[in-house]
Structure 1
Amino acid sequence: MAKKRRMLWQLYPAFLFIALLSIVSVTWYSGSFLKSFYLREVSLDLEARARLVEDRILPLLIPLNKKRIDEICKSMGKRAEIRITVIGPDGKVYGDSHHDPLTMDNHGTRPEVRAAMREGTGEAIRFSRTLQRKLMYKGVVVRKGKSIAGVLRTSIPVDTVDKALHAIQLRIVLAGLFIALVSAGMSFLVSRYTSRPLEEIRRVAEAYSKGDLGARAPVSKIKEIDEIAGTMKGMADSLRERIETITRQRNELSTVLSSMMEGVIAVDLQGRILSINGTAARLFHVDPENGVGMMIEELSRNPMLAGFVRRALQEHDTFEEDMNIRVGTRDDRILNLRSSSLLDANGKRMGTLLVIADVTRVRELENMRRDFVANVSHEIKTPITAIKGFVETLLDGALENPDDALRFLAIIEKHTRRLEALVEDLLTLSRIEREGELAKTAFEEFNLRYVLNSALQLCLIKAEAKGIKVSLDCPDVLPVKGSAEQIEQAVVNLLDNAINYSPRDSTIRVNARREDAETVIISVSDQGCGIAPEHIQRIFERFYRVDKGRSRAAGGTGLGLAIVKHIVQAHGGKISVESTPGKGSTFTIHLPQAGLNQE
């Protein structure tokens, strides 16, 4: 096996030679290039300065104001530390920062002036007879429209430029010598640590940084490099195992958090959000990525939430609390908040974990259940109390009076029918809710015209008793898919409601039509007392009555419209109402339907 050599003795001579050759070449090239570069920069600077003066000089050229021009030249030339000369189109000097223009020769023959007149700009390096010095000139033509108003010339002594160039060139030479000495030492040091195998190590390390832990460095003859390669291989294997473990755990955690119905927020000891899952982000209307790093007060302006988090951070116990919180622009939500300590790998407390459940719907259902039980109890109690009272009266001797007995029995029979209607409506409502989506599988296609005719016949006697006319406007064939029995009951309930609240000798209109290829509309319009706007949103609630006394007098149970709503929803439709107090109401059912054979 070949003996491994140190890379120092392989690379140092070549590095040193290349470094010295490069320094000499760069120093020579820099010196020659810098002069032309510096002169070009000075020329551009003189032109830029001339352009700055141009705006102030142009208004003074036409009409000509030599005195003011000369004052500006002297003022600005002193501040800028350059010579500024304004020359007319005829070559006469109007102003000069360093000399009296009246004593100066005609400058029309100056090369920089001629070039500026001809090309727009001109420059020259020459001896100035006026100042008895060699200057670098830059001339810029000044135009008024398309005509030449004059030439604005700036200049700087060449010896100033030469001094700057010599100083820079001297620095370059000194820097080159210094770098040459440093390069000799650096070449020695670099040679010790650089080589082709080292480049391979760099390539492998770069691959590792991009996640490619399968990359391997080739075997090297240099002992140190070979040992580094072996160490990096072991490190890559260890990193792969750890990354796979971390990735798997992170994915599992992310899956769990994203699939949770509850919102989860991790907060550090300062109240800053460390992590927030999708449910919590949607609840508070923030982007999950933007939510990380926010203070808890920024997530919700509700002080109760911030106070809950602060209390959880101060204590080590688990907290749980329900609170009303406004999130975004939505209505207040009832949130159930639970907190527990957030610990790091060493068991040290690093914050709190907040689990948030939106229990608004649960609380609403609980309130609805309580209200429903209370309403049912109240509705049942009234007829039972009446029945009990009249039965006791009959038992106390009223049976001996036939007229009173018959009257009391009629009242008992009336309340019995009301109880029966109430029980039937409750059973109907319960059946509709229980069947829910399952009822859709039993839907059949039927002709809506037949169902509406049947509903009208069921209500006809009650309508005629009040002198109310009921009209039907419906095509002879109007196919609908659903439960014919339930649709009939919904229409009967709407008709019964319309009859109860319509005056004598009025008209109730039932209309049915196809709104589009996917929807059929059924509407029931009356000329009754109408519904005030504040009651519109609640009329489909169970036992809700606009006029309780009138509803009970008409024999209503308070469940008719609630049953209609549940039937329509079971069919995937919707119901709406339009009403004008004193003029009447229109209830409209929108039913999605697949349609029968239209042939």
Structure 2
Amino acid sequence: MSRRRMLWQLYPSYLLITLVALMAITWYASRSLRRFYLEQVTSDLKARAQLIEKRITILLASGNTAQVDLLCKELGHKTATRITVIRPEGGVVGDSEEDPTQMENHGHRPEIAEALLGVPGVSTRYSNTLQKSMMYVAIPLTFDNEIVGVVRTSLPITSVDDAMRGVSVRIALGGLVIAVLAALVSLWVSRRISRPLEEMRIGAERFAGGALDYRLAVPNSEEMGRLAEAMNQMAARLDDRIRTVVCQRNEQEAILVSMVEGVLAVDANERVISLNAAAARLLDLSLDDAKGRSIQEAVRNTELQALITQTLSKQRSIEEAIVLTGAEELYLQVRGTILKDAQGASIGALVVLNDVTRIRKLESLRRDFVANVSHELKTPITSIKGFVETLLDGALKNPENAERFLTKVARQTDRLNQIVEDLMDLSRIEKDTEQAEIQLEESHLKEALEAAVQACEVQASAKAIRIDLNCNDALRAKINPPMLEQAVINLIDNAINYSEAGQSIEVAAAEQESEIRVSVRDHGCGISQEHLPRLFERFYRVDKGRSRELGGTGLGLAIVKHIALAHGGRVSVESVPGKGSVFTIHLPLRSPKGVV
């Protein structure tokens, strides 16, 4: 239902009351004036009839009817009044306007009938003879206490109507002026009443919009003044309280935002109340979208959901380590505790998320490095130990055996030294990649790719694997051809090792999305998603047994990664278990900073 302003509720009411009152006064005044005018005409006609009453009575009593008619015409002409004399039986004796002999019997006229009863008769009606509305006044003529006739005087009431019309026009004009003045006064009064309310409405809207420093003008009226003062006091108190709350909230938000740990608060129904930016980043949530949603909807991790449920049900602190899987695997140390209000009542749970992924990865890298280095060093060390024990057991006394064993010890020592040197070289390559300027030249990519394919043809032919190359002859890039060739060889070699006999491998290079992508696709066994984030780490093997069987050292993909970094690019992998993998080297179109 539409709402109207108070001004348009008050003003029409005042205006309607004024117009109705004016109409009633006008109607009553018009009726009263008309009645007054008619009474005046009646009195005038009665007086005129009484002036000629005696003369007409004498003439009638003497039987001189002709003289009566002449007198009626003479006096009627002089007084502009119609005068008619009627006998008791209704016959007309004289008339100032018509021939009496031609006039009908007037005994049935109402004023005549009343006069014949001995009282003056008055009647207003339309005259068929004169074709106009007339007022008739008849008085009885008595001679010797006997009614010998009736004298009737009459005037057209059109003069009354004309007079009333003029008066009505003046009344109407006066009423119109009064109505206009009343309308203006009503509008002024209505606005005077509604303006303070309108100002308060505007002020209330400003308060609702946050402008609590705005103050309403205090009207003169007692009621409006008190209301305005109360609203101003309310705004001042709200402003103070909101400032306090905002200050506290800003302090809390500053603390939460600056925290490295993620903070997540849920209510008793496990709906998210609040979370900081760190928690949103760790849980891959939107700050706004997550609020109000259940933890089961917001976070698809059963371990975190279970921890929150246990914290709420057991009403105590719980600490656990959980793993979040996604584009990147995250290790979190999670502590859940009871969230309480100011009165100490439990209202939910507070969860603190500490990201220990980097620590876990460093620990894992350390363990893998130690395990891999230990494995690589174990074989030569075992051999050396065995030969030394043989020499100590007596072989040293036999010069021929001693020389043979010492030669083997020297060979294993050289192998051990080579492993140490390889590890140092790998470390040096990483350092040079980060700090040294790599010599790049504008070259055709297809030449480097063809060289890599040719280098792997023999190994591929042994398993009847076809290598397809798709690269535009005109595609050029800033590269170090030997390094890029080595990277592609490593990827093709890896694809051959993990492809079944008779399958195919596609090597492709193309410019896409402001970069050049060199990809190697196989249709082998594929790689599970949990292995992808660590696939390019040193010594990392998805299937350690199969990798050793194939002669892999776990350094091939790490070399590919560092070659891509040396070109200012990166490396990525997409894989679906059972369908194969795609390894891609992303090269920038422009030479990266620090590369010549």
- TM-score, with structure 2 as normaliser: 0.49
Query: Higher RCO, 1 or 2 (CA under 8 Å, sep at least 6)?
Result: 1
- TM-score, with structure 1 as normaliser: 0.48
Indicate the structure (1 or 2) with the bigger Cα radius of gyration.
2
